[in-house]
Each structure stands twice: as C-alpha cells, then as structure tokens.
A and B are shown apart, each in its own frame.
Chain A
C-alpha cells in the first residue's frame, strides 16, 4: 500500500492536468454555447453582423484554451509528453494544487463572461457602431481567468524548477 502511495505522484499530476482542462473546458463549452445561441438569433435578422457576433461568441472560448495550456504544461513537465521523469508524491500534489486556479476560475469566468457576451450581442444587434465598447464588458470578466492562468503557469514553472 505504501509503495502505491509512493508511486502515485504521477497520478496526482495527471489529475491536475485533467482537472485544469476539463473544468475550464466545461466553462468555455457552456459559455460559447450560450453566446452562440444569442448570436444565431441576431443572424436571423441581421446576417451582415456575422463577423461581429462571431467575435462575441469566441470571447468565452479562451478559458478552455487556458485550461488546455495548463494541462499541456503539466503533462510535459512530468514527462507524459516527451521523456519519462520521476515524480514524487509531493510534486504530484503540487501540480494538482497548481491546476486549481485555472480549473475553477476558468469554469466560472467563462460562464459569467458568456452572460456579458450575450448582452453585448444584444447591444451590437441594435447599435453595430458600439462594437468597440460592447466588447470591452466581457473582456473585463476575462481578466480573472488571465490572472488565474498566470498563477497556474508560474506555479507549474516553479515546481518544475524545484
């Protein structure tokens, strides 16, 4: 049993990678889906706004990519991509902890960003010239996903250097 625990570092690291990717991915999927529904509704009336509403739909897509990014960073640091490395239990747990910011912040920020994006799509449908301002509101929400990404990335780079 103790041997099992001693070798479970890799498991925890992988759990971290999976967690970051799937939570942020779920958030983005929900977000892009919601914004997409609103965007399609606008297209029914104003097909010429396609380019603009598409950008709104894509705004909540970034969290999923941040999650993927953190996932890949972990995988390559623990040797699941590239060469194999020894991972201690502590390191594995550290990687798992490092994945938490982007996992949760990605999930929630994508969902709330999509609400802003839906409202922005409404704004652009009525006033296409207000695109510049309308796109800024969802971007505000994204800030927190970026901050979480930053901490997750710095932590992973830091753990790798330990």
Chain B
C-alpha cells in the first residue's frame, strides 16, 4: 500500500549532448518530461515539427510496405502470438539494425513502387476488360466499326436497346420513309437487352434512312474499334496478358524482399522512436549551446540517473521535492500489484489519500472467487493464466498484470469451489452414477462440500455474503479514517467514520436480536444486544445529525443538513443488500454447470452416450466459464467501485507516464 515518492528533476547540459541524453532517457523510461516554460533572449523553443512529420512519414512507409509484403508473402501467425509481446533486441543487435536503416528504407520504397505498378496495371487491365465486354457483340461484324460505306453506299453501325428484329425495324422504318429508299439490314448480334445491326443504304437515301433510324431508337455504340472487332479482340487480349505478366513480375519482386519483413517492423519502430524524441523538443528549452529540461522521476531511480548523466555527459542535475501536482506511480507486492489495473481504470489516488490497492486486492480475489465458485473452473483459469505467464516471459506489462490477477482469482475460485463442493458442477457424482452405476466416492471438496452446499442452505450463504459486505464497507470507512488522520483532521474521524460505525453496527446488533430477523438468519442474539445496539445506533445518529452539516454556519441549515446526512443510512442498507449478488452469481455458476452435466447424460450409459456427454461437457462448461467469469469480473468491479470506493475514495491523481520507448514490435534490452 504505497505510492512511490516523486521528485522533480531538472537537467542542464550542453546542446551537443542533447540527442544522446534524450536517447538514454527514452531507453530508461523513468522520467516524465514536463514543459519548461521559459522563452527569453537566451532560451528558445526549437521547432521540430518538420522532423517529426518526416520521421512519422517514414514510419508509415515502413508500415505500409510491411502490410503489402504480408499480402503477397503471407507470414505464419500462431494462435498465442498475441501473448508473446514485443521482441527484445540487445544493444548490439539494435545498433546493427540501425546501421541497416537506409537499406531497409530503400526496400520499403521499392515495395511501395512495385505495389503502385501493380495497381496501375490492374487499373489498365480493367479498362481493357471493359472494352472486351463492349466489343463482344460485334465479333460477327467483318468490317471495322468505323466503316462508313463505299463510294455509292452509306453504312450505319449501331444498336437498338431494347432489341428489335430486322423485320420490326423494317416495318417501323416504313412509317418514316416514302418507300422508295433502298436499304439492307443485317443483325450482327441480338440478346435480351440489345440488338446490334449493320444497315446499308445508298448514298442518296442515306440522310432519310439515317433520320428514320434515329427516330425509331437507333444508337451508335459507345465503343468503336478502328479495325475489325475480331482483330481488336486479339489486340485487347494481348494487352491483358501483357498486364498480367507485369503484375506477376512485380509480385515476384515484392516476394523477393520477404526477408525484409521483420526489418521493416524494426524500421517502423526506429523512426517512431526518433519522432518521439523530436517531440520532446517541444518541452525543453534550448539556447545556442545549452538546453534545459524538467520532469518527474520516482525517487528510487533518481540518484542513479543523476550520477549517470553527471559522469557521462557532464550535465548538471537538480533533484527536489515534487509537490502535489506530481504524477502517481504505485508500488505494491506481487500478490496485490495485479489489481492496480482495476484501480487505474477507476482513477489513480491523489497525494492526500492512501493507495487502497492492497486492501482492495484481498476483497477482489475473495469476491471473484465466491461469485465464480467452482473448483474445476478455478483450476482451469489458474492453470491457463499460470502457463501463459511461464511460457511468454516477454508479455506486455498490462496483459501480464491481468493474467496475474486472473491467476489469483482462479486460486480463490478453486477455494470457494471446494468450500461449496462444486467441481464442474456435480460432474463426479453424475459420471459415477450414469456410467459406473455406483455412488460417487465422498471426496471432500470435489463431491462433499468442505463447508456447505449453497442450494441446500442458501440463507446461511446469504448471511455470510452480507457479513463480508459489512466488513468490506467498514474497512472502506477505516481507510477514510486513516486518510483523515494522515491529514491531521482528527475530528472528522469521529464525525464521519465512528458515527457510522456506531449507527450501522448498532442497528445490525439490534436487528439480529429481534425475532423477525432471527427467523431469517437462523440465529438470535441475546436480548441485551437489542439495548446495546439501540444505544450505539442512537449515539451514532445524534453525531451524524449534529455534525454532518458542520461546514454551514447557519444553525438551522446545519441541522437540516444533519438530518439529510442521516438519510444516508438507507444508502448503507442498499449497499449491504447489494452483496447478495455473491450468493446469486455463485449459485448461478453451480446450477448452470449441473444443468450441462444433466443434459450430457440424456442418452444414458452407451458408447454413443459417452461421446455425447464428452461433447456437451466440453462445450457447455466452456460457455459457462466464459459467461460467468465475465459476470464475476464485472460485478466484483462494481462492488469495489460503487460500494467500497463510495465510502472513502476520491481519486483524481494522474498516472505516471514516462518518456519511454513506445514501439509496436521491438524493445531494446540494456546490456549493462
């Protein structure tokens, strides 16, 4: 339960070392750089946006080239690759690849230009294919489509859409002609949409015939070939196969660059890092020969960095107390640290309150386990997370944290499963009854519950759920007391914490000694507790009424606020009842598991029945794990965020976001 102390670090150094220092800081990733707000006759801000844009552009080129490469030379991808995380490079490997950068970049540009060439040829191919489509109806025509006639004749080459037969054309033409004109109609092609015709007429009648043709819907074709259509078809096919050849050649060229696949990933990272470094120039101030930089650093890293910068670069490093605006970095042990992510998704604590991660972690695992509560599921979950953690050491920190969290949740789930006697529901009794026709062996935990079966005595589990809820809420109030004491606000502890302990605690004592609650809970406290509880609750209520409106100076308003404060007691009631989900979701997991086991045995004891059982078992329990793990996760978060944090947590801190290597594919490991 701790937050790391932050220190402000100011670095003053010679400008010639600036790039090296930034590269070192980036690799160490321990400093969050803040904007230095000085601009005067000596210091100024370097505008590096042009460099940033250029490097981002190169990174983007590398990314595109890599995507293109992956398209033509598919890379194998494992199912679990996403767990592997970024590949680690040693310093020497990094330097070697960095020296290769110009060569890789050339390859990237080559790939892009090959791709462009392919796209161009594809576009031309499509154009030729369209021409081919258009010329196809005219293949039977044995003159060029531009043929206009001989010395004494005139030809009309065109189409009718919708189609007309030559008889139809003749009769329709007759309406517009005198009857003296000589013409000949030849249908070249006809289908449901159009008919292509070749009309020949004598020169002197050409005007009248042409006019009549237009009136009955004659159109010139959109595409006209200057040679005979058959020759044109051959030409086009030659063009297309040419383009195909060029496309193939370019694809081959791209495939030949396959060895650059990983190197392109490096290039993208390399230039992203470079661009990130130039971005820092927005925040530092430079003079002609020196530069100034300021930022935050966690205390444990501060001394080492100071020594390093001072000895290596002859820099002047100043460390001072960071104050309240510093970002927050949490430090927790291996058991509680995984829950930091959950806390961060709500809000980081600010500097006036304690980090609740460690206490939250205990309840988090406890509640998750109780809602999921099946030993089989817990073992599956813990094993899956454990194996992934062992196998993929280089996993990304965020993913690693979640895996660790679900590992512990799995352990807790196993514990509660054993307590409730649930192992894949009632898998062992069902299997032994159906397939072995014997009573199951009474294995403690897996068959016989270590504590009790929630279905046979739900009220007891419900009471335990409420009890855990009350403890959770009271611990939350306790953290509030701790925060107030830390801020030397002792009176508030009495007014805001002790008063509620008395009121809620007293009310519970009193309720438990009444007969009505006794019937529900299954036990009654001796009558004396009714009195004790009543007095406690009354004292608490009085404190709340008198003091919860204490910031108002007007006594009347203060009293009204106090009464309203007492109304908050209903909030406690609903908060405590909210923990009934521990029972409900726990029972839901167990009973659904039993339903799948029951469905599995539907065909009874036969070879086919065994197969059906195995199938139903695998699919059913996978579905149940998925849906109930989701439910347990969401509702554990809710109990923490709403019920628990609602009692004490304000948050509002800013997470520590150091200047570091922010890449996609590679990280660099320090040699020393």
Binds A, one of B116-124, B296-304, B409-417, B576-584: B576-584
Report whether B455 and A157 are in contact in the complex, using a CB–CB cutoff of 8 Å.
yes
B371 to chain A, nearest CB (A): 10
Which A120-148 residues have a C-beta within 8 angstroms of B? Answer: 131-133, 135-136, 139-140, 142-143, 146-147
B631 and A153 within 8 A (CB): no
Residue of B nearest to A135 (CB): B634
Residues of chain B with a CB closer than 8 A to A62's CB? 627, 631
Any chain A CB within 8 A of the CB of B232?
no
B584 contacts A149, CB within 8 Å?
A: yes
Q: Of the candidates A66, A136, A143, A147, which one forms a contact with B637 in the assembled complex, judged by CB atoms under 8 Å apart? A: A136
Q: Are B588 and A132 in contact (CB under 8 A)?
A: no
CB-based contact B458/A146 at 8 Å = no
List of B residues within 8 angstroms of A146 by Cβ: 580-581, 584-585, 635
Given A69-B591, A133-B345, A139-B634, decide whether A61 and B580 contact each other with a Cβ distance below 8 A: no
Q: In the complex, which residues of chain B have a beta carbon less than 8 angstroms from the beta carbon of A133?
A: 345-346
Contact A69 B588 (CB under 8 A): yes
Q: Is the CB of B580 within 8 A of A132?
A: no
Interface residues of A in 45-103 (CB under 8 A from B): 55, 58-59, 61-62, 65-66, 68-69, 72-73, 76, 81
Contact residue among B345, B459, B580, B585 (Cβ-Cβ distance under 8 Å from A131): B345
Whether a CB of chain B sits under 8 angstroms from the CB of A154 is yes
CB < 8 Å: which of A69, A81, A131, A143 contacts B581? Answer: A143
- In the assembled complex, the CB of B631 is this many whole angstroms from the nearest CB of chain A, namely 6
Q: Which partner residue on chain A sits nearest B624 by CB separation?
A: A65
Once the chains are docked, how many angstroms separate the CA of A66 from the CA of B592?
A: 9
Provide the main secondary structure of the chain B interface: helix
Q: Residues of B contacting A140 with CB < 8 Å?
A: 638, 642
Does any Cβ of A come within 8 Å of B256's Cβ?
Answer: no
Query: Which residues in window 20-65 of A have CB below 8 A to B?
Result: 55, 58-59, 61-62, 65
Would B580 and A58 count as touching, CB distance under 8 A? no
- A66–B634 touching, CB < 8 Å: no
Interface flag for B641 (CB, 8 Å): yes
For A68, what are the chain B residues with a Cβ–Cβ distance below 8 Å? 592, 595
Contact mask for chain A residues 4-24; partner B; CB cutoff 8 A; 1 contact, 0 none: 000000000000000000000
Closest residue on chain A to residue B580 by CB atoms: A150
User: In the complex, which residue of chain B has the Cβ closest to the Cβ of A150?
Assistant: B584
A61 touches B584 (CB 8 A): no
Interface residues of B toward A: which range? 20 to 34
Is there contact, CB below 8 Å, between A65 and B634? no
B587 an interface residue at 8 Å Cβ cutoff? yes
- Of chain A, the residue at the smallest CB distance from B465 is A150
Please give, as numbers and ranges, the residues of chain A lying within 8 Å of B346 by CB-CB distance. Answer: 132-133
Complex CA distance for A147 and B574, rounded to whole angstroms: 12
CB 8 Å contact bits of B582-623 with A (1 = contact, 0 = none): 011101100110010010000000000000000000000000
Chain B residues near A73 (CB-CB < 8 A): 591
C-alpha spacing A55/B637, complex, angstroms: 15
* Chain A residues near B587 (CB-CB < 8 A): 153
B547-578 interface with A by 8 A CB criterion: 577-578
If A72-B595, A153-B458 touch, does A65 touch B627 (CB 8 Å cutoff)?
Answer: yes
CA distance A158 to B542 in the complex (A): 40
Contact B627 A61 (CB under 8 A): yes
Please state if A132 and B637 are interface contacts (CB–CB under 8 Å).
yes
In the complex, whether B517 has a CB less than 8 A from a CB of chain A is no
A90, chain B: closest CB distance, angstroms:
22
| Contacting pair A58 B458 (CB below 8 A) | no
Known: A55-B630, A61-B627, A81-B598. A72 touches B581 (CB 8 A): no
Cβ contacts A to B, 10 pairs, < 8 Å: A55-B630, A58-B627, A69-B592, A72-B595, A132-B342, A132-B637, A133-B345, A149-B584, A153-B458, A153-B584
Closest 10 CB pairs of A and B: A132-B345, A150-B584, A139-B634, A146-B584, A146-B581, A72-B595, A139-B638, A149-B584, A69-B591, A150-B580
Name B's A-contacting residues (CB within 8 A).
342, 345-346, 455-456, 458-459, 462, 577-578, 580-581, 583-585, 587-588, 591-592, 595, 598, 627, 630-631, 634-635, 637-638, 641-642
